[in-house]
Copies of this chain bind each other. A is one copy, B any other.
Amino acid sequence: MPPAVEFWFEFASSYSYPAAMRIEAAAGAAGVRVEWKPFLLGPIFREQGYDSSPFVQYPAKGRYMWRDLERICAAQGIGFRKPSSFPRTSVLGARVVAAYAREPWVPDFVRALFRANFEFDRDIDAPELVRELLAACVADADERLAAAQSAPLKQRLRENTERAAALGLFGAPSFRVGDEDTGCELFWGNDRLDEALAWARGAHALQR
């Protein structure tokens, strides 16, 4: 098995967008496997004492973030339009990804949902949009959508969020690498993806 990186992301999270757009290619080039871990930041922020997204609660930080994101997207060659609503999550989309995280169409669906939010300014929590994007990725979209909202699969997003809290996550994107033998390492922020991948390779080499 190649080394793995857990990619913890939130569809509402602005810096998760450029990370989601590049992680599959970057990890592939590094020989690292991606585990897609959607979770909800809302419960985590509330538990930690934030009233809202830090970018809303602290306006100077928010103003900087939008300019910074614009620069990052330009450098990365991906589209960007400031969403007219922020933070705008997709509980349904996150449920779908959590339910089917290992299926091969998932990365495309994740990217499509992020682009809908941060490039096309669309309401990504609207069921019809989620269905439309899912139908472009997988043949049996309606069945998947229904199943993702049924009790056993719906639970997976909640489990991811509880796991994120237990791991000490406080923001997104976050990257977790290593294992119990070599020690786990957490990296926070789009800026740290390359370091997380390097660490995943190094920890893996140590273990072998």
Spell out A's residues near B (CB within 8 Å): 48-50, 57-61, 63-64, 67-68, 71, 168-171, 185-189, 191-192
Contact = CB atoms under 8 A, between A and B. Distances in A.
A141 B170 CA distance: 44
A169 B60 contact: yes
Contact of A191 (B57, B71, B171, B192): B192
A189 B61 CA distance: 12
Contacts of A68: 187-188
B189 A63 contact: no
A68 B81 CA distance: 32
B64 A57 contact: no
Contacts of A171: 61
A192 B59 CA distance: 20
A91 to B, nearest CB: 22
Contacts of A63: 168
Nearest to A58: B48
A70 to B, nearest CB: 11
A74 to B, nearest CB: 12
A198 to B, nearest CB: 10
Given A48-B58, A48-B60, A168-B60, A67 B186 contact: yes
B64 A170 contact: yes
A154 B116 CA distance: 52
Nearest to A57: B49
A101 B192 CA distance: 32
Contacts of A189: 191
A186 B57 CA distance: 20
A64 B188 contact: yes
26 contacts: A48-B58, A48-B59, A48-B60, A48-B61, A49-B57, A49-B58, A50-B58, A58-B170, A60-B168, A60-B169, A60-B170, A61-B170, A61-B171, A63-B168, A64-B168, A64-B170, A64-B186, A64-B188, A67-B185, A67-B186, A68-B187, A68-B188, A71-B185, A189-B191, A191-B191, A191-B192
